[in-house]
Amino acid sequence: MAEEFGVVPSREGGTDLALPVTVPRRGPAPRRAVFYNPAMAFDRDVGVALAHALRARQDSPLRGWEMLAATGVRGLRMVNESGLFASLLQTEAHPEAFAVLHMNAEPFHDRGVTVREADARELPAEAPFDYVDLDPYGTPVPFLASALHALRPGGVLAVTATDMMVLAGVQPKVCVVRYGAQPVRGRLGPEGGLRILMKHVAEAARARGRVLRPLLCYVHDHHVRAYVEIAPKLPSSAPDPIAAIDAASWTGPALGSPGRLGPMWLGPLFDAALVRSMRAPEHAERSRETVGFLGRLREEVEVDRPFYYECNELARALGLARPPSFLAMQEGLARAGARSARTHARAGAFRTDAGRSVVEGVALRTDVPDPGSIG
């Protein structure tokens, strides 16, 4: 039967599955009836790491729903490698993909896994759930209402968006229509997209009397992923940290786009204690990458501020002879009373709680002549 659907016995992480034969590539894979993107194995490693950290916080395992399960790889790895779930419902609407999902899930039925050929926009009878995963090809918007409706108060929503042409500013008109926000263009566009997605989810949650609390939200390759708690809204709940940015008066990193941007989520991306507790899974598929990523996150949670600086971009904007090193910037910012930390969002970039004028002043002070060039 496996050959009938173009899948072969495979293993990702610590889990045996039947998966399509694919050519390794980064970024979004072409859409197929039986969809599997091996480049997202790292993302699933991070999911297993987060599942372990969440399980350590729970008195008992959770009831979960994977809305768009495809081959089932994401949810089945979490079941098999983390112990987070007492039960997991996996739904898939495409008949061929469902056949593969059914095949993959069969060995896990005695561990609480149930599969169903169903439209993810329809609420399952088993709702509400403690954990809902929404990982679409493209935008999550058509499925978001169903996801939030299915989630118990205080539950965890995991949501992915791969429509980065929209979220990161290449198609701004579509972003305004789809997400109600003007996107950031250029190098900071992906983080802007993440913050626009979080804004959209927070507004949808608020309309249902809930509030969003970030657990782990990040940018990677050609997608953004947010794990958030959707908590009950209380009289003491603060307003969501959502606002538009006037690029001309914004004192954070230069956004590279003129005019009014957003509105977007300007609050934290992380639950610092949760992120600090995360470790790479024992059977991570991309072990080295996952270890490095989680290590960077543990630095970054100490300076969880919107957007980031790049040393080469600072040098270009200020006309410096050469870019300052991150170490020089970190030391200079510390002398100015500011904190800084490298970010996962781009290699060599850093976040800081200093304003742009302070950052630029530190960068200018590093631009001293090379002693070897004098004389």
Nearest to 352 by CA among 368, 331, 367: 331
Phi, psi of 28 (to 5 degrees): -70, 135
Per domain, the residue ranges of the chain are 3-302, 308-370
pLDDT of residue 375: 41
In which element (H, E) is residue 19 found? strand 15-20
CATH 3.40.50.720 fits 3-302, yes or no: no
CA distance 123 to 37: 27
How are the residues of the chain apportioned to helix, strand and coil, as percentages rounded to the nearest 5? 40, 25, 40
3-state secondary structure at position 24: coil
**Which residue ranges of the chain lie beneath pLDDT 50?**
373-375
Name, in order, each residue with C-beta under 8 angstroms of 316's C-beta and a sequence gap of 6 or more.
Answer: none
CA–CA gap between residue 217 and residue 199 (Å, rounded):
12
Q: pLDDT tens digits for 74-119?
A: 999 999 999 999 999 999 999 999 999 999 999 999 999 999 999 9
Give the angle subtended at the CA of 123 by the CAs of 117 and 128, to the nearest 5°.
115
Q: How many CA atoms lie within 13 A of 141 on its CB side?
A: 18
Q: Of the CATH numbers 3.30.56.70, 3.55.40.20, 3.40.50.2000, 3.10.580.10, which one belongs to the domain with range 308-370? A: 3.30.56.70
Tens of pLDDT along 32-55?
Answer: 667 788 989 999 999 999 999 999
Q: Are 223 and 162 in contact (CB under 8 A)?
A: yes
pLDDT of residue 374: 43
What global pTM score does this model have? Answer: 0.94
What's 220's DSSP letter?
E
112: Cβ contacts below 8 Å, ≥ 6 apart = 79, 85, 86, 87, 88
Single-letter code of the amino acid located at 215: L
Q: What pLDDT does 17 receive? A: 96
d(CA 62, CA 154): 12
Closest to 139 (Cα-Cα) out of 197, 180, 94: 197
Which H/E stretch holds residue 246? strand 242-246
Could you tell me how many residues make up the chain? 375
